[in-house]
Chains A and B, each alone.
Chain A
Amino acid sequence: KAGVTQTPRYLIKTRGQQVTLSCSPISGHRSVSWYQQTPGQGLQFLFEYFSETQRNKGNFPGRFSGRQFSNSRSEMNVSTLELGDSALYLCASSLPSGGGYEQYFGPGTRLTVT
């Protein structure tokens, strides 16, 4: 089974621009979550989509948005980029596992804002 894929792997953007990141989950996984990873803040949850609906949302400003398509692929968008948005953005697709969800991560998109 193919793993979670994310495109692009690397991005360099200028402050004020917007960016769209893409994630293709493992076949059959309907839940897709997004995380931001930075050295200072660690792994922070952005949002989760399930069957094209946002099911959970973290504490990020409205500049961060996402969506999920009928084939479970997901995109996240960041508008009006700030220097502090530089981070590794990780996508994970999930399967129910006992009382929670087991997550499978993609390699991430490294976003640098200059």
Chain B
Amino acid sequence: GDSVTQMEGPVTLSEEAFLTINCTYTATGYPSLFWYVQYPGEGLQLLLKATKADDKGSNKGFEATYRKETTSFHLEKGSVQVSDSAVYFCALSDSNTNAGKSTFGDGTTLTVKP
């Protein structure tokens, strides 16, 4: 079945540091890939997405590129802020097999210190 593996956390960075959160996936079809963010006490928010190989998703300074050859979708940001502290989830959705069902990684907790 489909699966998503994220780098283990927690991750603690100083403000303005470079962020990378690794994500690899296994899927039977040709999935869309997503990064979601969850702030304390809230639901998940879509951060960015990519729907086919070599697509780059970007939003709020975050970027991730859909790499089919390495089955990866690593999240990056050049300069993190304290307000980026949250839990980040990598996810995939494959309409060929499980429309409306997303498979999530375990989440990576990011803490940014001033």
- Residues of A at the B interface (CB closer than 8 Å) are 4, 6, 31, 33, 42-43, 45, 48, 50, 55-56, 58, 90, 92, 94, 96-108
Chain B residues with CB under 8 Å of A58's CB are: 101
Take A55-B99, A56-B99, A97-B32 as given contacts and tell me if A102 and B93 are in contact as well, using a CB distance cutoff of 8 Å.
Answer: yes
- Residues of B at the A interface (CB closer than 8 Å) are 29-32, 34, 36, 41-46, 49, 51-52, 89, 92-96, 98-107
Instruction: Among B32, B101, B105, B107, point to the contact of A102 (Cβ < 8 A).
Output: B32
Q: What are 13 A-B interface contacts by the 8 Å CB criterion?
A: A42-B105, A55-B100, A56-B100, A98-B52, A99-B30, A99-B95, A100-B95, A101-B95, A102-B34, A102-B49, A103-B36, A105-B44, A105-B45
Beta-carbon contact of A90 and B92 below 8 Å: no
Beta-carbon contact of A100 and B104 below 8 Å: no
Beta-carbon contact of A98 and B51 below 8 Å: yes
The distance from the CB of B64 to the nearest CB of chain A, in whole angstroms, is: 14
Most chain B C-beta atoms within 10 Å of own C-beta, residue among A48, A58, A97, A107:
A97
Beta-carbon contact of B100 and A101 below 8 Å: yes
Report the Cα distance A106→B41, complex, angstroms.
11
- The B contact surface, by secondary structure, is loop
Take A98-B51, A107-B43 as given contacts and tell me if A56 and B98 are in contact as well, using a CB distance cutoff of 8 Å.
Answer: yes
Nearest chain-B residue to A49 (Cβ)? B100
Beta-carbon contact of A43 and B92 below 8 Å: no
Report the Cα distance A6→B113, complex, angstroms.
33
Report the Cα distance A4→B93, complex, angstroms.
19
Report the Cα distance A65→B33, complex, angstroms.
28
Report the Cα distance A90→B89, complex, angstroms.
14
Chain A residues with CB under 8 Å of B44's CB are: 90, 92, 103, 105
Report the Cα distance A100→B89, complex, angstroms.
16
Take A42-B106, A99-B51, A100-B31 as given contacts and tell me if A94 and B100 are in contact as well, using a CB distance cutoff of 8 Å.
Answer: yes
Beta-carbon contact of B49 and A99 below 8 Å: no
Beta-carbon contact of A33 and B101 below 8 Å: yes
Chain A residues with CB under 8 Å of B49's CB are: 97-98, 102
